[in-house]
Amino acid sequence: MPTKNYLTIITLIVCLSVPAAYATNGYMSHGYGTTSKGMAGAGMALPQDTLSVYNNPAGLTRLGRRYDAELELFSPKREYRANSDFAPPPIPSVPPGHEESSNDYFLIPGFGISRPIDNKSAIGIALTGQGGMNTEYDTATFVNFAAPPGSPLNPTGEFTATEPTGVDLAQMALGVTYARELPPLPGLGITHQSIGVTPIIAAQRFKARGLQPFRALSVSPDKVTNNGYDYSWGGGVRIGWLGSMLNDQLNVGISYQSKLWMTDFDDYEGLFANGGEFDVPAVFNVGLAFLITPGLTLVTDFKRIFYDDIDALSNTNDIAFSEIFANPAKRLGGDQGLGFGWDDINVYSIGLQYQTSEKLTLRTGFSAADEPWKNVNTLFNVLAPATVKKHASLGASYNLNNQGRINFAYTHAFKNTIEGTSTFTGPQTGYVRMRQDMVQISYSRDIGF
C-alpha cells in the first residue's frame, strides 16, 4: 500500500478516537480549516483546504486532489466569582469566592480529502470537531442548594452536591461532500459558480458531575448527574453556493447547515429539556473574498448560530422555585425544562491574506460575536461560561518542494466577563469569565490517484 494511503488511514483512526472540546462562538468553533482560522474564521468564500466544506461545501470543486491533516492545541481559561451580597439560607446560593476550572489543554484533530470526479464535479470527506464545552471546578459549587444531609428535606443526603462540579460535552462531525460547477451567468456578471451539499454524521458525548441538588427539580431525578459518559448520534446537512464575479476578482459565498438532529442523552434525560434532547444548532453563513492586488485578498464573513432552537440551551432558568414545582413541564427534563437561557448569536469576521512569494503566504483576522445569554442567567452558566466575544488571529502557509504545504494559525479569544444574578440565588451577584488560546498546525498535500 502506498505511504500516502497509510497516512490517510492512520489520521482517520486518530480523529475517530480523540474527542473535541471547543468553546468559542458559544460552544461552536469559530472556523474550520487552518487557513480560515488564520483569519479569525473568515474565508467561507475563499476555499483553500478540505475542512472548508464546513464553511461552504461549494468550494470543493476548486481544491483539486489533495488531503489536509491538522492538529490543534486548544487552551480555554474558565472561571467564576460568587459574591457574598445575599441573605443567608434558606435562599440557595453559590458559596462566595473565586473558582477556576481545571483541564486547560485539549488536542483536537481534523482530516479532509478531496477528489475530482471529472472537470466539473468533486467529492470529499472531512472529519472535525463540531463544538463542545468543558468545565471542572474542584469544589461543590451547588452545595448550598440543598438542605443539610439528615434533615427532613434531605434525609439520605441524595441531594447533597459533591465535588468536582462541571460538565464535559464533545461533538465530532463526519461530512461527505459532493460539489459541482454550474454554467456561468454572464448577464449577472457571474463568471464561475458552483454548488455543494454535505450530508453530516455527528457524534456527541456528555457527562455532568456535582449537580445532585437539581434532582429535586427534575422529572427524572436519577438521570441528572454523575452517570458517567453518555453518547448521542445523529446528523443533518450543509448546502452552499459559491460564485465569482468581476473577472474572478470577487467571490461571493452562501451556505446553510441544518440543525443536526441527535438521539437523546438517555442517561441525562432528567437534566436536558424534552427528556435528554440535545441537538446541534443550525448555522447560516455568507461571505465575500475580494482580490485587492494579485497577492492581497480581503475576506469578510457573517454567521448566525441558532441557539434559540435548542431547548436545552435556550430555555430560561429565570424561574422561581414555586413556579417550577407548580408546573412539572418546567422542571429539568420536562418539555419546558430549565436551560441556560442562550439566544441566537451573530458573528462578524474580517481577514487579510497576503502572498509574499511563491512559497510563503501570511494571514491575519479579527472577529466579534454577540453574548449568548442575558445577565439574569449568569450564575447558572458557571457550567458553560461561553463568554468570549472577540478573536484575533495570525496564520501562515509555507510551500514545500514536494507539493506539500505546512500551515499554521494562532488565535487569541480575548477575556470577557459577564456579570449578573440568577433567580435561584435571589439577590446574589457574581460573574463568569473566559479567555482562550488556540494553536493549529496542518499539513496539506496535492495527490494523484
DSSP at 373: B
CA 301 to chain centre: 17
Which residues does residue 410 pair with via DSSP β-bridges, in sequence order? Answer: 394, 439
> What's the confidence (pLDDT) of residue 377?
66
Mean of pLDDT values over 342-348: 94
Residue 268, class by beta-carbon neighbours within 10 Å (0-12 exposed, 13-18 middle, 19+ buried)? buried
Dist. CA 39–CA 287, nearest whole Å: 13
> What's the confidence (pLDDT) of residue 16?
42
> What's the confidence (pLDDT) of residue 89?
60
> What's the confidence (pLDDT) of residue 177?
98
> What's the confidence (pLDDT) of residue 33?
93
Residue 299 grid cell? 475576506
What single string gives the DSSP state of each residue in 406-438? EEEEEEEEEEEEEEE--GGGTT--EEEEEEEEE
Q: How far is CA 45 from CA 355, 399, 416, in A?
A: 17, 22, 29
Q: Is 12 helix (H, G, I), strand (E, B) or coil?
A: helix
Q: Is the pLDDT of residue 21 over 60?
A: no
> What's the confidence (pLDDT) of residue 184?
94
Instruction: Output the average pLDDT for the chain.
Output: 89
Most confident residue range from 69-78, 83-92, 297-306: 297-306
Mean of pLDDT values over 434-443: 95
Q: Is the pLDDT of residue 64 over 50?
A: yes
Closest to 266 in 3D by CA, of 234, 300, 220: 220
> What's the confidence (pLDDT) of residue 6?
41
Give the other-Cβ count within 10 Å of 92's Cβ: 20
Residue matched to cell numbers 489520521: 11
Q: How confident is the model at residue 261 (pLDDT cuts 50, 70, 90)?
A: very high
Dist. CA 215–CA 223, nearest whole Å: 8
Say which CATH number the domain at 123 has: 2.40.160.60
Q: Is the pLDDT of residue 68 over 70?
A: yes
Residue 45 dihedral angles phi and psi, to the nearest 5°: -100, 10
What's the pTM value of the predicted model, to 2 decimals?
0.90
Residue 9 grid cell? 488511514
Mean of pLDDT values over 8-37: 65
Closest to 406 in 3D by CA, of 355, 439, 445: 445
Q: Is the pLDDT of residue 84 over 80?
A: yes
Q: Is the pLDDT of residue 253 over 50?
A: yes
Most confident residue range from 6-10, 17-21, 260-264: 260-264
> What's the confidence (pLDDT) of residue 87?
63
Which residues span the domain enclosing 305?
Answer: 3-446
Q: Is the pLDDT of residue 320 over 90?
A: no
For the stretch 99-142, pLDDT in tens is 999 988 888 899 999 999 999 999 999 999 887 888 999 999 99
For the stretch 362-398, pLDDT in tens is 999 999 999 887 766 677 778 888 888 999 999 999 9
With a pLDDT cut of 90, the percent of the chain lying above it is 65
Q: Is the pLDDT of residue 163 over 50?
A: yes
Task: Please tell me the total count of domains within the chain.
Answer: 1
Residue 267 grid cell? 442517561
Dist. CA 328–CA 275, nearest whole Å: 12
For the stretch 398-413, pLDDT in tens is 999 877 999 999 999 9
Binning the chain into helix, strand and coil, the percentages to the nearest 5 are 20, 45, 35
DSSP at 49: S
